[in-house]
Structure 1
Amino acid sequence: MTGPQIVLVGPMGVGKSTVGALLAERLGTVYRDTDADIVAAQGREIADIFVDEGEPHFRDLEREAVRTALAEHEGILALGGGAILDESTRALLAPHPVVYLSMDVEEAVKRTGLNVARPLLAVNPRKQWRELMDARRQFYAEVARAVVATDDRTPEEVAQAVLDALELKEA
């Protein structure tokens, strides 16, 4: 099967970009992020898309970005935190080696900060993060072949845990 060697899913701030880049380096491949694809294609930040056109429009862009990346990218792929909300996206992920990077709420607040451009966490970050995770956790688990906790681990330790979980060897 062609497609990404590893697909990383998980909440915002969990470290998908950092861990994804490390995995790509270790496996001698390239890293791609669907959020970055959307920003590049639209010429503006995701927060601006949310504000200007709303979440449903962003989710449409995201669905297409994920579909395209799954079809053409063979390295490490990270998806935006909410990509798994779409049923068709979850179905597309089924044959791929998906890893869910998880973390608890205190770690999330520490990592995402309260001043970063996170459109879904604008008002009450702790409460909203908990609510987002309550809505999304089952979907992350549904698409994942493995779950790797990131709490109290360095990005290097997380990358190694991902490789171990998927039984992959470094290049």
Structure 2
Amino acid sequence: MSPRTPRLVLIGPPGAGKSTVGHLLAESLGVTFRDTDADVEATEGRAISDIFVDDGEPYFRRVERAAVQRALGEHDGILALGGGAILDPDTQADLTGHSVVFLSVGLADAAGRVGLTTSRPLLLGSPRRQWQELMEARRAIYEGLATVIVRTDGLSPEEVRDLILAEVGA
């Protein structure tokens, strides 16, 4: 039996629309949607922000890595990865050969979508500055892993879905 593989893997920063667009893609393609952040919360029985506060980022990243590895091997629908999952070199290697869509978004649109609130543990303090620093550190990784890059600024989730479907030939 051959391993299952996601139809598409969505990557990008907070506010890019991975979950919203992922659900729309899954519906359009007749497959299921899975989000590794939700997997982590289900496994741990608590919110990601609580994991960061109680156990720290290194612990969270280990749990996240395991969730990503499981999902890449089990899920054959649309898979959304947490924004920082791509920082792990093993995850980067595991994404080789997958159809990876980077949902690129600017600060203004991201802020409007998620409000850049403190419920996002890496955006504590000055959320806008923290988001910009995250993007400076991650953009090259996102772009390097992507087989398709879709700029989401100013677009509705449905428009983003349609662009992705056109790009991947679905």
Which of the five TM-score ranges fits, normalised by the shorter chain? over 0.9
Deviations 1:47-81 (A, max 9, x none): 00000000010000011100000001000000000
Q: Alignment partner for residue 49 of structure 1, among 25, 48, 51?
A: 51
Supply the distance in 2 between the matched residues of 1:47 and 1:2 (Cα, whole angstroms).
Answer: 30
Deviations 1:29-63 (A, max 9, x none): 00000000010010000000000000010000011
Q: Structure 1 residues 132-141 or 111-120, which shifts more?
A: 111-120
Q: Alignment partner for residue 166 of structure 2, among 151, 164, 167?
A: 164
Q: Which runs of 4+ in 1 moved over 3 A?
A: none
Q: Which residue of 1 aligns with 2:127?
A: 125
TM-score normalised by the chain length of structure 2 = 0.96
Matching of residue 143 in structure 1 with residue 156 in structure 2: no
For structure 1, the residue ranges without an aligned partner over 5 or more in a row are none
Supply the distance in 1 between the matched residues of 2:39 and 2:117 (Cα, whole angstroms).
Answer: 23
Q: Which residue of 1 aligns with 2:117?
A: 115
Matching of residue 39 in structure 1 with residue 41 in structure 2: yes
Supply the distance in 2 between the matched residues of 1:140 and 1:99 (Cα, whole angstroms).
Answer: 9
The answer (yes or no) to whether the contact 2:118–2:124 under 8 Å persists in 1 is: no
Supply the distance in 1 between the matched residues of 2:83 and 2:106 (Cα, whole angstroms).
Answer: 15
Q: Alignment partner for residue 105 of structure 1, among 85, 104, 107?
A: 107
Matched residue of 1:140: which SS?
A: helix
Supply the distance in 2 between the matched residues of 1:116 and 1:23 (Cα, whole angstroms).
Answer: 28
Amino acid at match of 1:12: P
Percent of aligned positions that are identical: 56
Count of residues in correspondence between the two structures:
168
Amino acid at match of 1:140: Y
Supply the distance in 2 between the matched residues of 1:16 and 1:47 (Cα, whole angstroms).
Answer: 19
Q: Which residue of 2 aligns with 1:79?
A: 81
Deviations 1:117-158 (A, max 9, x none): 111111111111110000000110111001001100000000
Supply the distance in 1 between the matched residues of 2:162 and 2:49 (Cα, whole angstroms).
Answer: 32
Supply the distance in 1 between the matched residues of 2:23 and 2:105 (Cα, whole angstroms).
Answer: 19
Supply the distance in 1 between the matched residues of 2:19 and 2:118 (Cα, whole angstroms).
Answer: 16
Q: Alignment partner for residue 30 of structure 2, among 6, 28, 31?
A: 28
Residue 116 of structure 1, CA deviation: 5.0
Q: CA RMSD in A?
A: 1.0
The answer (yes or no) to whether the contact 2:117–2:127 under 8 Å persists in 1 is: no
TM-score normalised by the chain length of structure 1 = 0.95
